[in-house]
């Protein structure tokens, strides 16, 4: 269920940002609504990294290294190249941007950080170092991984990493190693009502910290000052709290789902999250022709409407792509094995 909630939150971030960046152009109460909605969704992308780390590092091993890398090329590199090309075409055709060789070269060198596909660049980097991380985990155990992950996240949160590492396509993954190794560590925790209650309280407090702190900074510095939105950063302390809190909240919810039909439905939706992530910005760009002006008077309603429509449309497209021969590869799917099922290991 956490994957499903995370992809909804990803869409929520991209939707509510339409209101956040328009501080001073929309009513202040509408801006605060957009700010709180955005703040409540900041955990989404780091949570995908945590889940990927849990699945990649949390098992008994990766199997043969050549087979491991071959599978990841199919599930990451093929979608990355395909969707980067599609989005370049989309920017040229729909957004009327000048997409030339220089434009493409700069975006690729930066790691596609100007749109959501940088997530695939980050995952590709983490995939490359995953065998080494598995080896390290065997040496130091989960305790050592927790300390190492916390140290990397602290270095990223303080900005230390960015002072010494030039962030571009080949190095973009480095700060996310902290979240990646956190996956198997969090998985060892015991979910339960008490931990769920603590996690819920922590999540609400962290969200309020982000929203109120951001509002104060924007009021003092203005929306164009990079410091104003620093609490939105994936490595800020309140976002770190959100990630851990939401993980255990949904771990508790997942353990309490008993009906097979519900579990089956969750499994189908979860299998489509990668495809939803890839396609959703195109749907959102198109929908904003209708909803952009709504944020002036009803940013909450506009965000909920956008999230619902974009999620539904993206889900439909993702499910079609997943089940269409020759097209399933563009969402990282492989042909299903006859007579069996495939585990979704992204």
Residues 135-177 have pLDDT tens digits of: 999 999 999 999 999 999 999 999 999 999 999 999 999 999 9
Residue 110 structure tokens: 């930066």
CA nearest to 48, candidates 146, 242, 183, 238: 183
The average confidence (pLDDT) of the chain is 91
Query: Could you report the per-residue pLDDT of 307-324, keeping only the tens digit for each?
Result: 999 999 999 999 999 999
What is the DSSP-derived secondary structure letter of residue 292?
G
CA–CA separation, 98 and 87 (whole Å): 13
Question: Among 103-112, 150-159, 188-197, 203-212, which is the least confidently predicted range?
Answer: 188-197
Question: Among 92-101, 138-147, 187-196, 282-291, which is the least confidently predicted range?
Answer: 187-196
Is 77 in a helix, a strand, or coil?
Answer: helix
CA–CA separation, 122 and 113 (whole Å): 10
* pLDDT of 129 strictly over 60: yes
Q: Give how far Cα 174 sits from Cα of 80, 94, 162, 304, 338, Å.
A: 19, 33, 10, 34, 38
Residue 106 structure tokens: 């700069």
- Tally Cβ neighbours within 10 Å of residue 56: 23
Q: In the beta sheet, which residues pair with residue 90?
A: none
Is 201 in a helix, a strand, or coil?
Answer: helix
- pTM comes to 0.92
% of the chain surpassing 90 pLDDT:
74
Which residues have CB under 8 Å from 12's CB, separation 6+?
Answer: 37, 38, 40, 41, 44, 303, 307
Query: Could you report the per-residue pLDDT of 16-48, keeping only the tens digit for each?
Result: 999 999 999 999 999 999 999 999 999 999 999
CA–CA separation, 249 and 240 (whole Å): 14
* pLDDT of 205 strictly over 60: yes
- Tally Cβ neighbours within 10 Å of residue 210: 29
């Amino acid at each position: 269920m956490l994957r499903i909630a995370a992809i909804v939150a990803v869409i929520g971030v991209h939707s509510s940002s339409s209101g956040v960046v328009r501080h001073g152009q929309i009513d202040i109460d509408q801006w605060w609504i957009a700010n709180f909605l955005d703040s409540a969704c900041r955990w989404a992308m780091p949570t995908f990294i945590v889940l990927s780390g849990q699945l990649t590092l949390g098992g008994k091993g990766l199997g043969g290294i050549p087979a491991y890398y071959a599978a990841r090329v199919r599930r990451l590199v093929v979608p990355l190249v395909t969707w980067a090309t599609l989005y370049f075409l989309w920017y040229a055709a729909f957004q009327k941007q000048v997409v030339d060789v220089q434009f493409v070269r700069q975006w690729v060198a930066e790691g596609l950080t100007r749109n959501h596909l940088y997530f695939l660049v980050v995952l590709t980097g983490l995939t490359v170092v995953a065998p080494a991380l598995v080896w390290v985990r065997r040496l130091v155990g989960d305790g050592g991984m927790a300390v190492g992950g916390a140290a990397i996240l602290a270095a990223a949160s303080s900005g230390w990493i960015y002072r010494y590492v030039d962030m571009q396509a080949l190095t973009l993954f480095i700060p996310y190693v902290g979240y990646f190794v956190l996956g198997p560590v969090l998985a060892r925790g015991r979910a339960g009502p008490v931990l769920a209650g603590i996690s819920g309280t922590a999540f609400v407090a962290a969200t309020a910290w982000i929203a109120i702190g951001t509002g104060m900074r924007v009021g003092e510095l203005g929306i164009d000052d990079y410091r104003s939105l620093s609490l939105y950063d994936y490595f800020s302390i309140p976002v770190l709290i959100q990630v851990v809190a939401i993980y255990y909240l949904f771990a508790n919810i997942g353990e309490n789902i008993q009906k097979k039909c519900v579990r089956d439905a969750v499994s189908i939706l979860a299998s489509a999250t990668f495809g939803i992530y890839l396609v959703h910005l195109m749907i959102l760009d198109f929908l904003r022709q209708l909803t952009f002006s709504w944020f002036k008077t009803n940013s909450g309603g506009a965000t909920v409407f956008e999230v619902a429509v974009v999620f539904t449309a993206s889900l439909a497209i993702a499910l079609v792509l997943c089940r269409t021969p020759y097209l399933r590869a563009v969402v990282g799917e492989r042909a299903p094995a006859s007579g069996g099922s495939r585990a979704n290991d992204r």
